[in-house]
Chains A and B, each alone.
Chain A
Amino acid sequence: MPGAALALILGIVVFSLVYHFYAKWVDRRVISADPERSTPARTYMDGVEFFPTNKNVLFGFQFKGIVGLAPVVGPIVAIMWGWLPALLWIIFGVTFIGWVQDYMSTMVSVRSDGKSFGPLSYSLIGSRTRKLLLLFMVFYLFLLCAAFAAVGANLLKANVLAVAPVAVLLLVAVLFGHMVYKMKMSPVTATAIALGLIIIGLFVGSNVPVSIANVDVWVVLVLLVSIIAATTPIWRFTQPILYLFFYVVYFSLILLVLALVFGNPTYVRPAFAGFVAPNGWPLWPLLFVVIACGAISGWHSLVSSSSTAKQIDKETDVLPICGGSMMSEGILGLVALSIVAVLTLDEATALGGPAAIFSKSGASLLGGSAVAQSLVGTMFVGLALGVLVLAIRIARITLSELAGDAIPALKNIYVSAIVFSVVVFILASPSIGALWLYIWVLFGGANQLMAGLALWIAALWLLNEKKPWIISGIPGVFMIVTTIAALVFASYGVLTKGLGFLATGETVKAGGNIIAGVIGATLVIAALIMCVDIYNAFGRIKAKPAPKVTAADGGEEE
């Protein structure tokens, strides 16, 4: 049986080869990245949104922007088909689809005056697709928050030793914000004080187990923290939380990678458990949606086109920043897979859901002490909570922008945050909402639909530029077809369950399932409409004649 170190080394070797041969070929031969060509950051430099940023700084920014809990949770769920399909999908997904999407989203934006995803879909496909993108985003936010609230709640329930350290960290975050922004303390001093308090919190918290058996209570608490973060000024709570969790998360991750490489635990799970998982779920299409961010994710295209593209100094920086970040995230996916593949099925079943499996297995890799359990538990709660506090803030803004004119109450920050959180609670609560696995597939589906759209925006741009569009078009077709199939499966599953609950008179449970099913069905319809629009745009652009270069005296190009 192979060991965890072998999987990581295989990933690093393959991604290095992909980077040096395929990715560089695309960058140099297909796109012809030119370090002398002016980028939007230089052309429109305003020192705020558009400004050339150091390649290494931007790599860190992009990596942090795309990494959340999803690349960790996906492989843990996907191991139900065996570790080999998950390993192959992460490697081939990153190789042929993941980095292409991240790189092309940024490059298309850089070559289009820094336009973000919305204006690009409008100019290349049409106005309807732009509206569909907004619909994807709204549903994506609901599903993302529901999936992460459920994971965060289950993590807190499973890691009784992580609750106190997380609470300490949240309090320290408030203090940190106050020290830096109100007391004008140096960020370095404030960071040192905050990290000292967090370390004390970890050691003290590892002796103070906090246990609440009802997951609903944890969902409410997690959402409450997120609502506070979403309604207070960003510097007061959200920014400090993200900043301080960063240290805990990446310190723990480095420790886990070292433990996997030097400990080299053996994979004991079966390599292949069949095309149909024990719960009846088929490998195709579900594996490709369950593992989203470790292989490809639509979220990356939003970060790339809206933020990173406006800070690119040279065109030749795009590949190391965006391609490099995606490949690094693929390695993180392999780390997650390795952590869970070293447990037998019985051990994993005894631990419970993916949240508990990952955190307890990770803690045992670090020696299994109470402090290790506190640290790994805090790290995973940090990954979930970090995404959630930001996502609910984004959702609040989205809700008030989209529905604020029709329902003026939603312009109130408290109303919009609470309304959004109530829907999230209905989806995420184990006693009201749909089964967590279905929510995860629906979330992955919304995410992968955005990825399919991003890949097709890139393909249409390549077609328009008379370049080989298939490098992005074929992955785009695969992602859209697979995602639609997965969404049909998940929507049918939850709707059937919802109607079943309705028939037995369990109306509350039926409500959560039916809401999830309706969201899934709407995404399927939106995806089909998007396919028609993309097809029409493809024909329109293909029929467009190549521009003729005319000489000043009227003579044509020779």
Chain B
Amino acid sequence: MGLKDIKKTVMDFMYGMAAHDMATYSLRQRMHMEHLFMLITVGDMVGIPILPPYYSLRLLPYVVPHVKTWKMTLLRERDLTDTILGG
């Protein structure tokens, strides 16, 4: 292990301690906003029709890449431990 590797390890460790939770929190916030948007636009995929199908179809190309992740997150079993620690 060279000096460069040691420096990278220390920097990674520092980042993990100092900022990783902040970064993941910001990502989660963005995810919740995106999922809200998807629920409004293509909610009929999970049985919640909110927007008329015309607009859903117009927006569909933009949300297609996220559909799989969205469904997985929406349908995954969660409880309080996830809510308070996983965000």
Measured between alpha carbons, how far is A61 from B19 in the docked complex, in Å? 8
Determine whether the beta carbon of B20 is less than 8 Å from that of A57: yes
Residues 10-25 of chain B, each 1 if its beta carbon lies under 8 Å from chain A, else 0: 0011111111111011
Main secondary structure on chain A at its contact with chain B? helix
For residue A63, which residues in chain B have a CB less than 8 angstroms away from its CB?
Answer: 16-17
Residues of B13-41 contacting chain A, CB below 8 A: 13-22, 24-28, 30-31
A465 contacts B by Cβ under 8 Å? no
Contacts A63-B17, A64-B16, A64-B17; A243 near B86 (Cβ below 8 A): no
Determine whether the beta carbon of B16 is less than 8 Å from that of A307: no
B84 contacts A by Cβ under 8 Å? yes
Determine whether the beta carbon of A61 is less than 8 Å from that of B17: yes
Determine whether the beta carbon of A46 is less than 8 Å from that of B81: no
Contacts A49-B73, A54-B12; A306 near B82 (Cβ below 8 A): yes
B72 contacts A by Cβ under 8 Å? yes
Q: What count of chain A residues pass the 8 Å CB interface test?
A: 46
Measured between alpha carbons, how far is A145 from B9 in the docked complex, in Å? 34
Residues of A42-94 contacting chain B, CB below 8 A: 44, 46-49, 53-54, 56-65
Name, among A49, A243, A246, the residue most crowded by chain B CB atoms within 10 Å (CB to CB).
A49
For residue B73, which residues in chain A have a CB less than 8 angstroms away from its CB?
Answer: 46, 48-49
A394 contacts B by Cβ under 8 Å? yes
Residues 392-409 of chain A, each 1 if its beta carbon lies under 8 Å from chain B, else 0: 001001100110000000
Determine whether the beta carbon of A137 is less than 8 Å from that of B81: yes
A115 contacts B by Cβ under 8 Å? yes
Residues of A115-158 contacting chain B, CB below 8 A: 115-119, 130, 133-134, 137
Determine whether the beta carbon of A61 is less than 8 Å from that of B86: no
A302 contacts B by Cβ under 8 Å? yes
- Smallest Cβ-Cβ distance to A250: which chain B residue: B17
Q: List A residues at the B interface (Cβ < 8 Å).
A: 44, 46-49, 53-54, 56-65, 115-119, 130, 133-134, 137, 187, 234-235, 239, 242-243, 246-247, 250, 302-303, 305-307, 310, 394, 397-398, 401-402
28 contacts between A and B (CB under 8 A): A46-B69, A46-B72, A48-B28, A48-B73, A53-B20, A56-B8, A56-B13, A56-B16, A57-B15, A57-B20, A58-B16, A60-B12, A60-B14, A60-B17, A61-B21, A64-B21, A116-B86, A118-B79, A187-B19, A234-B25, A235-B25, A239-B22, A246-B18, A247-B18, A303-B85, A307-B86, A310-B86, A402-B80
Q: List B residues at the A interface (Cβ < 8 Å).
A: 8-9, 12-22, 24-28, 30-31, 69, 72-73, 77, 79-87
